[in-house]
Amino acid sequence: MSTELLIDSAQNGSRIALLQDKSLVELHSEGMDNQFKVGDIYLGTVRKIVNGLNAAFIDVGYEKDAFLHYQDLGANFNSLTKFTKMVRNNNYGNYNLKGFENESEIDKIGKISNPLAKNQQILVQVVKEPISTKGPRLSCELSLPGRYLVLVPFSDSVNVSKKIRSNEERKRLLRLINSIKPANFGVIIRTVAEGQSVSDLDKDLRNLLSSWEEGMGKLMKAKSRDKIIGEMSMASSLVRDLLNESFDAITVEEESTYDQIRSYIRTIAPEKEKIVKLHNGKAKLFESFGIEKQIKSLFGQTVSLPQGGYVIIEHTEALHVIDVNSGNKSNQESDQESTALKTNLVAAKEIGRQLRLRDMGGIIVVDFIDMKKAENKKAIFEAMNHELKFDRSKHTVLPLSKFGLMQITRQRVRPEVNIVTKETCPSCNGTGKIQASILVADKLEKDLDHMATIQNLSKIQIGLHPYLHAYFTTGVFSRRVKWFFKYNKWVKLIKDSSLPVTEYRFLDESGEEIELLVKSETE
């Protein structure tokens, strides 16, 4: 599977598109004022303790106080508090924790009012960005992620990712990390560390220690609300987490971002530096790669499936609901069960992509087309799990219920990506909404194919806006000429300025509109 990263820069920020086999699977936006990213460490102040929630509200500089639950204090909260006070009072200059004596762990089940007091200053890390009306969610279990390792202060444990299956490799990594890690630091070994040399792991560990020491140097003179350690840019963090052998290209539009990404890759993977390219075409980056068109077609309420059928995605306050429909062009199988299975398998693949693309979180309920056979239901469950194995967010998938419903839970740490895919209607001066104009040519050709092959019309006339007429007739080998060779029928195109640019009509010889015959939908 080939992977590409596109970074499109704008005046008020940047957009980052992750492509797998040329298909858009993740879309991120990063504004110039995008504060409180996941991983940022702040010096916060306790504003309110709520015993009923067993939680505290912390001032980290956001318009609403951030939320910190007792369970997120971490077992080593007493050690963190002691260290913070010592650094703030200039009583401890050895930031690498060498010689530091850890305090006893806090109770797993305790009261928030015991370790915390109002106006107390504490180090906190953002684990969930502000979403909707809620402020950031915080944790005091600090961790610094690197490419191969995650550094955990005030701990001594070394853990290996469960996705590394080989017992020999797990033992090798544990032995290596235990031999090079400093005292009072725990380490989590990430999946990508599998097969890496000791020099690469050691280099990653030293970089993380350097970030920690630099941040603690700031802590001594920091004021409340100050950022102590900042997570890198969204683009750099994606490169850090995803860069592997399947990465084919990283294309950047802005020169300063290009230099930054190239410098970072030179540090972590010098052999991959050559895949970073600067876009210098006349058209915008996303336009050149067809990303704008994919965005328009993928973020609507209704999303078409490649082989016919479609899914409808509805968002409510409590959950997301996805309905799978067979449509009118997917009835190619011999029976209803086969049609349902084929459509559901295609839908499962698209739904897996949509969850990542929109970063949908919480509870997702999918209403698949009803199937009778248990093996077919199991196939859908396995297909969904296969699609979500590429998802970096924590998730759980349950098998289909007897009502044909699948329940999915997915962790969300950032606001959901919502893009309006409707455009202001040119025929009513902005009083209505229409389908995105970028898709009208594709839709016309799909309907023409249905008219020529399924309804088998001998003579086809289409009334359409002059702009569309020019698009289909320009050039010696125009699209209309290609239709002739494909269907062995000459399609007559009639200019009609009364039609909006996104509308067209199929007409008979007398000029009357022909309706598209739609087959009954499989429920």
Task: Tell me the mean pLDDT in the region 202-222.
Answer: 90
Percent of all residues in the chain with a pLDDT value above 90, rounded to a whole number: 33
Q: Is the CB of residue 279 less than 8 Å from the CB of residue 250?
A: no
Task: Using alpha carbons, select from 338, 325, 345 the residue that is nearest to residue 387.
Answer: 345
Q: 433: pLDDT confidence band, cut at 50, 70 and 90?
A: low
Q: Is the pLDDT of residue 78 over 80?
A: yes
Angle, helix 77-88 to helix 198-219, in steps of 10 degrees:
60
pLDDT of residue 400: 93
Contacts of 384-391 with CB under 8 Å at 24 or more apart are 384/348, 384/351, 384/352, 384/408, 387/348, 387/349, 387/351, 387/352, 387/353, 388/352, 388/355, 390/20, 390/25, 390/352, 390/356, 391/352, 391/355, 391/356
Range in 110-124, 229-243, 343-357, 500-514 with the lowest mean pLDDT: 229-243
Look at residue 372 and tell me whether its pLDDT is greater than 60. Answer: yes
Is-contact 94 213, C-beta < 8 A?
no
343 CB-contact burial (10 Å; exposed 0-12 / middle 13-18 / buried 19+): buried
Query: Residue 127 in contact with residue 137, Cβ under 8 Å?
Result: yes
Q: Say whether domain 3-33+234-291 belongs to CATH 3.30.420.
A: yes
Q: At residue 113, does pLDDT exceed 70?
A: yes
Q: Report whether 105 contacts 34 (CB < 8 A).
A: no
* Number of Cβ within a 10 Å radius of residue 258: 19
- Is the predicted pLDDT of residue 293 greater than 90, yes or no? no
Q: Which of 75-89, 315-329, 369-383 has the lowest mean pLDDT?
A: 315-329
Task: Please name the amino acid found at residue 123.
Answer: L
Tell me what the mean pLDDT of segment 96-114 comes to.
87
What confidence tens digit (pLDDT) does each residue in 160-174 have? Answer: 998 888 999 999 999
Lowest average pLDDT, out of 205-209, 310-314, 324-328, 370-374, goes to: 324-328
Structure tokens belonging to residue 175: 């032995």
CB atoms within 10 A of CB 98: 10
The residue to which tokens 């876009």 are assigned: 279
User: Please, are residues 204 and 149 in contact by the beta-carbon 8 Å criterion?
Assistant: yes
Mean of pLDDT over the chain = 85
Domain residue limits, the chain:
3-33+234-291, 43-229, 300-410, 437-507
Q: Which two tokens stand for residue 159?
A: 């853990």
pLDDT value of position 140 = 94
Window from 49-58, 366-375, 436-445 with minimum mean pLDDT: 436-445
Q: Could you report how far apart the first and last alpha carbons of the chain are, in Å?
A: 34
Which tokens is 332 given?
A: 């190619």
Q: What is the pLDDT of residue 424?
A: 58
What pLDDT does 466 receive? Answer: 87
Please give the pLDDT value at position 481.
92
Taking the C-alpha atoms of residue 132 and residue 326, their distance in angstroms, rounded to an integer, is: 34
Virtual CA dihedral for 427, 433, 435, 438, nearest 10 degrees? 60
Give the H or E element holding residue 127: strand 121-128
Alpha-carbon Rg of the chain, whole angstroms?
A: 28
Could you report the per-residue pLDDT of 464-478, keeping only the tens digit for each? 988 889 999 988 889
pLDDT for 359: 85
The answer to whether residue 272 scores a pLDDT higher than 60 is yes
Kindly state the tokens that stand for 289: 């790669």
Indicate whether 427 pLDDT > 50: yes
Question: Could you confirm whether domain 300-410 is CATH 3.40.630?
Answer: yes
Nearest in space to 240 (alpha carbons), one of 135, 146, 167: 146
Amino acid letter for position 409: T
Give DSSP secondary structure letters for 141-152.
S--EE-SSEEEE
Same fold? 3-33+234-291, 300-410: no
Q: pLDDT by residue (tens digit) across 333-346?
A: 567 888 889 999 99
Q: In 181-312, which residue ranges form alpha helices assigned H by DSSP?
A: 198-219, 234-242, 255-268, 285-288, 291-298
pLDDT reported for residue 436: 65
Instruction: Please tell me the least confidently modeled range out of 187-196, 261-270, 428-437.
Output: 428-437
Residue with structure tokens 């010696």? 476
Q: Is the pTM of this model over 0.75?
A: no
Residue whose structure tokens are 């590394």: 164
Angle value at C-alpha 137, between 131 and 141, nearest 5 degrees = 150
Q: Which is nearest to 347 in space by CA: 371, 362, 367, 361?
A: 367
pLDDT tens by residue, 3-53: 888 988 765 677 888 888 888 888 887 765 567 788 899 999 999 999 999
Residue 523, pLDDT > 60, answer no
